[in-house]
A and B are shown apart, each in its own frame.
Chain A
Amino acid sequence: MKRRRGSLRTAFAYLAAVVLSWPLESTIIVRDPGGLTAETAALILSGQQGGDLAIEAIAAPLAWASGSVTVGLFVEVNGCDLISGQQEEELRVEILVYAIAGEANVRGYVLQAFELDLGRYGEALAAGGFKFNGQLDLPPGDYSLAIMVRSPGEATQSLGLRRVALSVPTPDTQPVLLQPRFSVAEGLWINGFQVLAAAKEGGLSRARLQEAARWSAAKPLLPIGGRVEVLLPVFGLPGSFRDISFELLDGRGHVVGEAEFEVEGPAEAAAGWIVDRAVPAFLTGSFQLSGEPSGVPAGEYVIRAKARGPAGEPIYSPVLPVIVAAESDEPGSWATANRREQVPAPIGNPELPTRTRRTKVQAKDVELLKRRYAAILDLSTGDDRAGAASALRLFEQEAVAEFGERGIPSLVAAEMGLIKALGKESPDSLVPVARLHHQAYREHRSSRAFLLATHARNLALAIVELYIAGGTTEESARFMVLRHKESRGLVGSRLLASFGGDLQRGGLRRFSERLFRRALECDDTNEAALLGMGASFEKYSEYAEAVSYFERLVAAQPQSGEGRLRLGINQRRLGRKAKARKQLERVIKGNYLRWVQSLAYQELAQMDLEAGDLKRSADLLERGLERFPNEPKFYLQLAYLRNAAGEPWRAQAELDRLSRVREPDSEDSPRYTYSNWPADALDRAWDQTDEDVDSRLEALAAVLAAAAEGFAP
């Protein structure tokens, strides 16, 4: 009987292709996206929008066949946002799109990753951005496209989220206007294309997709007074086309401008298509926006097409966001149009290059937030630290709710503003603040507010770096030396490793490794960091690297049972049996956690079995059972050994003993514990930082009191 192998493939197929950028004739490398973490999937389905990366997108139904419609998908990403903070030569950009019908029915998806050589494309990206050109096959209906763009570099983990409505009509008796489409100015975008394995019926070939991409500006710039070329797909529109116009609407849905559509004909690409009820016609033409004083002022609007139906009733197309630009402005995209001011990057590494801000932070908002933030910090110096973390979480959520797109930038300005002031007076005061934001990060994640979690993470790490770099006043330096013997490096290392562990559990491998490495720069004996690094390499089957970190750990922290255990297991994987045996035997003889020792017995018994020494293996397991009589794996191993020795009746006896084992429900099995990220060392690091925080609360309270005097009434 044959199994159907196809159904056992990964859910996200890897489309391997070489893509050509357009209009630049150079190569962008398509990469294996590597799948998604559960957190990423949850984030994209959460409905949140915004993030570090500014995104605009348009989805355009392009071809109908056999109950399925091929929809062109065009995602534009602000280039400055992409390259901001990048310290690597290769920029990785991941595009994920879900087409969601109803509540959460995913009817289609796209997942693709690209690598761009910044040496080659950096300048062009800074001048414009990156544009993904792809397609989805969907049945007719209404969808919400959930779009995520992620750039997971070692130094940054920027992402952006966007939702775009899509309506895919069926040809029927009603005339339909589809969303108007505007041409893309040349040279604005670095293009990455999704390439299909083979052109299929109803799908688009690469050439057709490229052609469709010419009319795919996601948020076009419309010059006042200038003629604007537009492509308008229509279904079954009776009569002539003189009745079509375009309306501009403001944020409240009011029509603020109208322009007549001067039709020039069907688009070249659609030459030969006829206007009937089954096939759309792609009309090309232009319109002109009136200038001031009676015309529309520059700003952001939405545009829609309007026509008359069979009975003279108005028919509207879906809207498209646009920017009406002054005629004097140079041609550009929404990405360049919004680059009004450069704001120094207030988060992350202070040395990061500037980042574009799309929104203006208002001073009065910042002042208000700063006061409220100071009150929360003060609360954290008391007994209810958990309450302070919850208060911080709520405070940040409210800020985002209240200020909308200005929310996070305002929070950054307020929080970082106060933090810097505190740090100048007393670097030690930053330790409790960093911990507070770390706790807020955990709370945001638990409540699935992932954008705020990202903000909390970035802020916490910036605070730690600020702390490690130290304050600038002599007084603060003296204060620190007198009160704390441990260096900032040791404390900072613990804070960083603790955060690294959280990121590791969240599936952010590269970011977590970066934090562990940084922690080791500050303290090269940090157990949590060494374990975290080793476990990361182990999980990705890089066993030699893993061994190197575990060896360092065992040398620096001989009491680390988990370190020895992992070292032994990985040495066995590398075929270093004698070394493996030595470590595992030391674990058995030492005084370590139950799960660590139990696992050492299991692994040694397996080694003896593989060596053909059944008796030695069985004896070892029996000794293990004397210490851990409720370990079910020992019975299973013994049963196997008895069978292998030709004693099936003894095997059954072992399994009868297993029936009487009662495992505690609250504990994970040793093998399961091992398969998870190291938790015990991270828990210890967390507890140690609790002590670090406790001893510095007084310092925070003192500087807060001083700072409060400086607040405006």
Chain B
Amino acid sequence: MSRSAAGALALFLLVCGGGRAAAMEVVISRPELGVPIFGKVDVRVEVYPASAEVDRVELFLDGEFIGAATGSSPFVISIDVGEENRAHEILAVAYAASGDSVHSSLQTPPIHVDGEFKVELQQLYVTPEFEGGAQALTRADFEIYDRDVRQEIVTFERGDVPFTAVLLVDSSRSMIGGPLRTALHGARVFFDGMKALDEAKLLLFSDRILYETPFTSFSSVLSLGLSQVKAAGGTAINDYLYLGIERVQARQGRRVVVLLSDGIDVTSVLRMEQVRQAIRMNQAVLYWIVPPLGEGGGGAGHRSAWRDPEEHERQRELLAQTVLESGGRIVELESLEQTSGAFETVLQELRGQYVLGYYPPVTGRAGTWHPTEVRTRGGRLKIRSRVGYYERPQEFTSRDSRQP
């Protein structure tokens, strides 16, 4: 036999050999090695050589038969591994037409968890501004974007959601007599308009706290002893606005802070920049009722030992910005007689608000800024809501770090 004839014979035998001479291999090429898997996963199985006659490929997940595929390589089988954070084993068995089989397995690891974050539901208070009468909106009418990523609206409520409010009333020297009485009358109008599950706290401040009630839904408790409070002292808006924000943050429900003041802060130790940071960390919405300057209030162009007129004006501008960024509103009075009406306006607006809740994306880095945007379907309506928030440090619970 010539050499060439012997080579051809060997090749023929190799090709026609019963599998052993041309060994079939199976590889699970997806998911990738070392990557945890959750939910629906496409498992890709490749069989070599490409010419191998494969009868079928069976797939097993964690020891259980999941399904089979026929045809030719690569074989893709969709499986659902569930949401549990655990290791998985995928076993692929390829059967040749001859009945022989080969197999391959892949272990996927779980996500390594040192502990758990408790993610607080993020609530956005949305105030639509209707032209020509209020309309009823549904969940489908809204879209929430957090860091430009659309979020799933988990809770949707309208107006009758109970709120927790802190009413901060400037009781400095400029409010002596009639102005304070008028302001407190307005506050009483607010209290009387509250519903059974609403709660409020009244805090009268000047350069210190003159009067503070507990949180309560009883209007009579909120009004007790008010007649004996006398306006006195300077004005520390920043400090007590900060306090109001922190007080309401610790409460449940829709968080509201209403400030009645001319906005000229003289004696605070905190700056408005710091208060702004606080409101950005929290979920409260701010309302600012502004008495006319000179009537229960100081004048623009105010100067003090603490700030020059420009700095006073800057702090005031920043207060306004902070209010608007919270999704709130500034109500300017032309006269103090309009105070009660202003409180009623705030209350009405709270009743007409929508409260949208979602679980925010967590970066794990406290202080990360999350710009938020609420859109309405078709972009028809003008709406007000907060412009964003700082990610709060999430409450973390440590776990056993050994792999399951």
Binding site for B on A (CB under 8 A): 1, 3-4, 7-11, 35, 535, 538-541, 602, 606, 632-633, 636-637, 639-640, 643, 646-648, 651-652, 655, 658-659, 663, 668-669, 671-672, 674-676
Of residues 286 through 345 on chain B, the ones whose CB sits less than 8 Å from some CB of chain A are: 290, 292-294, 299-301, 303-306, 308, 320, 324, 329-330, 332, 334
Interface residue B269 (Cβ < 8 Å from any Cβ of A)? yes
Complex contact A652–B246 (CB within 8 A): yes
Alpha-carbon separation in the docked complex, A606 to B246 (Å): 20
Complex contact A675–B246 (CB within 8 A): no
Alpha-carbon separation in the docked complex, A659 to B367 (Å): 28
Interface residue B243 (Cβ < 8 Å from any Cβ of A)? yes
Complex contact B305–A535 (CB within 8 A): yes
Complex contact B305–A636 (CB within 8 A): no
Complex contact B304–A671 (CB within 8 A): no
Complex contact A632–B305 (CB within 8 A): no
Interface residue B198 (Cβ < 8 Å from any Cβ of A)? no
Alpha-carbon separation in the docked complex, A273 to B308 (Å): 54
**Which of B233, B250, B304, B367 is close to A652, meaning CB atoms less than 8 Å apart?**
B250
CB distance from A481 to the nearest CB of B (A): 43
Alpha-carbon separation in the docked complex, A402 to B367 (Å): 75
5 A-B pairs with least C-beta separation? A541-B308, A671-B267, A672-B207, A672-B234, A646-B393
Alpha-carbon separation in the docked complex, A640 to B238 (Å): 12
Complex contact B269–A4 (CB within 8 A): no
Enumerate chain B residues within 8 angstroms of A4, measured Cβ to Cβ. 332
Interface residue B29 (Cβ < 8 Å from any Cβ of A)? no
**Which of A637, A659, A663 is close to B208, meaning CB atoms less than 8 Å apart?**
A663
Alpha-carbon separation in the docked complex, A535 to B246 (Å): 35
Enumerate chain A residues within 8 angstroms of B88, measured Cβ to Cβ. none
Enumerate chain A residues within 8 angstroms of B188, measured Cβ to Cβ. none
Of residues 230 through 267 on chain B, the ones whose CB sits less than 8 Å from some CB of chain A are: 233-234, 236, 239, 242-243, 246-247, 249-250, 266-267
**Which of B208, B292, B324 is close to A632, meaning CB atoms less than 8 Å apart?**
B208
CB distance from B55 to the nearest CB of A (A): 60
Contact with A along B206-232 (1 / 0, CB 8 A): 111100100000000000000000000
Contact with A along B268-293 (1 / 0, CB 8 A): 11100010001001000000001011
Enumerate chain B residues within 8 angstroms of A7, measured Cβ to Cβ. 292-293, 332, 334
Additional pairs, 19, CB under 8 Å, beyond known A541-B308, A668-B207: A9-B300, A10-B293, A35-B301, A602-B269, A633-B269, A636-B242, A637-B269, A643-B281, A646-B367, A647-B393, A648-B393, A655-B243, A669-B234, A671-B236, A671-B266, A672-B233, A674-B305, A675-B267, A675-B305
Enumerate chain A residues within 8 angstroms of B381, measured Cβ to Cβ. none
Of residues 125 through 158 on chain B, the ones whose CB sits less than 8 Å from some CB of chain A are: none
Enumerate chain B residues within 8 angstroms of A676, measured Cβ to Cβ. 305
Alpha-carbon separation in the docked complex, A674 to B305 (Å): 7
Interface residue B50 (Cβ < 8 Å from any Cβ of A)? no
Alpha-carbon separation in the docked complex, A636 to B275 (Å): 11
A-B contact pairs, 27 of them (CB 8 A): A1-B329, A8-B332, A10-B299, A11-B299, A535-B305, A538-B305, A539-B305, A541-B308, A606-B269, A633-B269, A636-B269, A640-B270, A643-B278, A643-B281, A646-B366, A647-B393, A659-B212, A668-B233, A669-B208, A669-B234, A671-B268, A671-B269, A672-B207, A672-B266, A675-B266, A675-B267, A675-B305
**Which of B269, B281, B300, B306 is close to A10, meaning CB atoms less than 8 Å apart?**
B300
Contacts A538-B305, A646-B366; A3 near B234 (Cβ below 8 A) = no
Interface residue B384 (Cβ < 8 Å from any Cβ of A)? yes
Alpha-carbon separation in the docked complex, A485 to B362 (Å): 78
Complex contact A655–B293 (CB within 8 A): no
**Which of A3, A535, A602 is close to B320, meaning CB atoms less than 8 Å apart?**
A3
Complex contact B303–A541 (CB within 8 A): yes
Complex contact B293–A11 (CB within 8 A): yes
Enumerate chain B residues within 8 angstroms of A668, measured Cβ to Cβ. 207, 233-234
Interface residue B392 (Cβ < 8 Å from any Cβ of A)? yes
Contacts A3-B330, A10-B299, A10-B300; A655 near B270 (Cβ below 8 A) = no
Enumerate chain A residues within 8 angstroms of B320, measured Cβ to Cβ. 3
Enumerate chain A residues within 8 angstroms of B233, measured Cβ to Cβ. 668-669, 672
Alpha-carbon separation in the docked complex, A374 to B371 (Å): 79
Alpha-carbon separation in the docked complex, A663 to B306 (Å): 22
Chain A residue with the shortest CB-CB distance to B268: A671
Alpha-carbon separation in the docked complex, A643 to B300 (Å): 32
Alpha-carbon separation in the docked complex, A9 to B250 (Å): 37
Complex contact B332–A3 (CB within 8 A): yes
Enumerate chain A residues within 8 angstroms of B324, measured Cβ to Cβ. 1
Complex contact B299–A35 (CB within 8 A): yes
Residue in A539, A639, A674, A675 with the greatest tally of chain B CB atoms within 10 Å: A675
Chain B residue with the shortest CB-CB distance to A36: B299
CB distance from B128 to the nearest CB of A (A): 13
Alpha-carbon separation in the docked complex, A56 to B294 (Å): 30
Alpha-carbon separation in the docked complex, A307 to B268 (Å): 67
Enumerate chain B residues within 8 angstroms of A636, measured Cβ to Cβ. 239, 242-243, 269-270
CB distance from A219 to the nearest CB of B (A): 34
Enumerate chain A residues within 8 angstroms of B247, measured Cβ to Cβ. 655
CB distance from A18 to the nearest CB of B (A): 23
CB distance from A640 to the nearest CB of B (A): 6
Alpha-carbon separation in the docked complex, A1 to B323 (Å): 11
CB distance from A444 to the nearest CB of B (A): 23
Contacts A1-B384, A539-B305, A672-B267; A632 near B294 (Cβ below 8 A) = no
Enumerate chain A residues within 8 angstroms of B278, measured Cβ to Cβ. 640, 643
Alpha-carbon separation in the docked complex, A7 to B292 (Å): 8
Enumerate chain B residues within 8 angstroms of A8, measured Cβ to Cβ. 290, 293, 300, 332
Complex contact A651–B303 (CB within 8 A): no
Complex contact B292–A675 (CB within 8 A): no
Enumerate chain A residues within 8 angstroms of B330, measured Cβ to Cβ. 1, 3
CB distance from B333 to the nearest CB of A (A): 9
CB distance from A98 to the nearest CB of B (A): 14
Alpha-carbon separation in the docked complex, A548 to B233 (Å): 30
Complex contact A632–B209 (CB within 8 A): yes
Complex contact A675–B239 (CB within 8 A): no
Enumerate chain B residues within 8 angstroms of A11, measured Cβ to Cβ. 293-294, 299
Contact with A along B179-222 (1 / 0, CB 8 A): 00000000000000000000000000011110010000000000
Chain A residue with the shortest CB-CB distance to B230: A665
Complex contact B234–A675 (CB within 8 A): yes
Alpha-carbon separation in the docked complex, A646 to B393 (Å): 6
Enumerate chain B residues within 8 angstroms of A632, measured Cβ to Cβ. 208-209
Complex contact B303–A671 (CB within 8 A): no
CB distance from B290 to the nearest CB of A (A): 8
Enumerate chain B residues within 8 angstroms of A671, measured Cβ to Cβ. 207, 234, 236, 266-269, 306
Chain B residue with the shortest CB-CB distance to A636: B239
Enumerate chain A residues within 8 angstroms of B206, measured Cβ to Cβ. 672
Complex contact B334–A669 (CB within 8 A): no
CB distance from A365 to the nearest CB of B (A): 42
Residue in A10, A602, A636, A652 with the greatest tally of chain B CB atoms within 10 Å: A636
Contact with A along B364-399 (1 / 0, CB 8 A): 001100000000000000001000000011000000
CB distance from B73 to the nearest CB of A (A): 53
Alpha-carbon separation in the docked complex, A676 to B270 (Å): 19
Enumerate chain B residues within 8 angstroms of A674, measured Cβ to Cβ. 305-306
Alpha-carbon separation in the docked complex, A535 to B330 (Å): 35
Chain A residue with the shortest CB-CB distance to B395: A649
Residue in A11, A652, A659, A671 with the greatest tally of chain B CB atoms within 10 Å: A671
CB distance from A692 to the nearest CB of B (A): 30
Alpha-carbon separation in the docked complex, A534 to B206 (Å): 26
Alpha-carbon separation in the docked complex, A306 to B196 (Å): 73
Enumerate chain A residues within 8 angstroms of B250, measured Cβ to Cβ. 652
Alpha-carbon separation in the docked complex, A11 to B367 (Å): 42
Complex contact B246–A639 (CB within 8 A): yes
CB distance from B209 to the nearest CB of A (A): 7
Chain B residue with the shortest CB-CB distance to A667: B208
Alpha-carbon separation in the docked complex, A140 to B371 (Å): 56
**Which of B246, B266, B304, B305 is close to A651, meaning CB atoms less than 8 Å apart?**
B246
Residue in B233, B267, B367 with the greatest tally of chain A CB atoms within 10 Å: B267
